[in-house]
Amino acid sequence: MGWGREVAVARSGVAHPATLGICDAPTVARDAVDWLEAVFDDFGVRLKPALLWKIKSTDLPISVDVKAGEGPRTTLVFNGEDLGDAVIRFAGALQAWLVTALGAEVPPCPTHGGALSPSRTDVQPEWRCPEGDLNCVIGDYRDAIWPPGPDERPEK
């Protein structure tokens, strides 16, 4: 399997019972791979080079190979008894690696420039600025910072 957005391949054999049977209510719940996509989307908004990732399985624990462009690479594990906690832990580990490997603090608060902290303050895992001016559900970062501020270009 090559690098990139190949989760679609990995997911092709995965059954989603909730979408196949009779649903009592529409669900917006994300599974582990949905959350991984959300996390990587958010990290990628303000990061160069591109962050590439791949997984071999969608069953927990998920071993996620990550590399930054043609640069450094690592393997992180997505796991946890609670999906929300797993998201927070994975986002924190990826964030720590990006600081070490690239010196990149992402995803940044548009106002303060520092990285937002993955937090569990509500039902959903969120990004929170330590200064308290921004919080959004992980996966919604791009929408949360739009439009870019007057001192900011949408693409760096």
Site for Zn ion in 61-120 (CB under 5 A): 109, 111-112
Q: How many residues contact Zn ion, by CB under 5 A?
A: 6
Residue labelled with tokens 């986002």: 91
Report the helix count and the strand count for the chain, using DSSP H and E.
5, 6
Closest approach of Zn ion to the CB of residue 97, in Å = 22
- Answer yes or no whether residue 152 interacts with Zn ion by CB under 5 A: no
Beta-ladder partners of 63: 77
Element (H, E) at 135: strand 135-137
> Is residue 10 within 8 Å of 33, Cβ to Cβ?
yes
> Is residue 153 within 8 Å of 46, Cβ to Cβ?
no
Here's the x/- map for Zn ion, 2-31, by CB under 5 A: it reads as: ------------------------------
In the set 96, 133, 152, 154, which binds Zn ion (CB under 5 A)?
Answer: 133
**Residues making contact with Zn ion (CB under 5 A):** 109, 111-112, 129, 131, 133
